[in-house]
Amino acid sequence: MYKSLLVSVTAILLCAGVALAHGSGSGPATKAVKIAVKGTSTSVSATLACTTSGNSWVDDYVCSEPGNCSCKEVTPATISGSDLKTVSNFFVTTDVGFNPATATPVSPGPTPQCDLFRGSFLITDSSGDTATVNFGGVSCEKLTGFSSKNPSGTEDQEMLSGGWGISDTPVPPSKALSGWGTFTGTHSDTSNEVSLKLSGWRTE
């Protein structure tokens, strides 16, 4: 009888463990996400940080030196992935006062430049729920066409990389939601097209 009881208890515990491993379905669920955002940037200010996005993450940035910042708005913009439908209020503040390359450039040759930036945009999904995404990272010049006649090369775009997260300001998400991850992207100097690829996780 003791052995039968032990077997029964063990079976119950194993079943409970399997149920917990699969989840009860009543708690939050975490999923991997991949999002693509594209748009065209226009200059709001060539020397100052953004002040009109309505998001303190972008608007309250203090530039390293007066005149070192710039503000761009990305519009019209599109978004795809994770059942997202629209993106709006897309602003980016860039600070050219931070550059990790501090060695004197070899002359004749290119002058290396990487800058810090902060950005934000509002996303809306197919159900009409909204959330603000903040992101921050580094923008580095991409040079091509090096030759003896063009030792400095030609800058055609900036390479973008960094991290992102869902923000509770200026307005909390319209449903219980959190998210975070990394991104890569580009900004074209000729067309001003901005392209970001975000990957990470969301919990709701």
Predicted pLDDT at 26: 65
Higher pLDDT pick, 103 / 3: 103
pLDDT at 107 over 50: yes
Q: 73 and 90 in contact (C-beta within 8 Å)?
A: yes
Predicted pLDDT at 6: 37
pLDDT in tens, 140-196: 999 887 788 888 887 899 999 999 999 999 989 999 999 999 999 999 999 999 999
What tokens were used for 12?
Answer: 């119950």
Question: 13 pLDDT band (50/70/90 cuts)?
Answer: very low
Task: Name the helix (H) or strand (E) containing 14.
Answer: helix 2-22
Let me know how long the chain is. Answer: 204
Q: 180 and 164 in contact (C-beta within 8 Å)?
A: yes
pLDDT in tens, 108-156: 988 899 999 999 999 999 999 999 999 999 999 998 877 888 888 878 9
Please tell me the distance from the alpha carbon of residue 121 to that of residue 133, in angstroms, as a whole number: 5
Chain mean pLDDT for the chain: 88
Q: Where would I find the beta strands (DSSP E) of 15-95?
A: 30-45, 69-80, 84-95
pLDDT at 198 over 70: yes
Please tell me the distance from the alpha carbon of residue 127 to that of residue 178, in angstroms, as a whole number: 17
Q: Give the predicted TM-score (pTM) of the model.
A: 0.82
Q: What domains does the chain contain, in order, with CATH numbers? A: 28-203 (2.40.160)
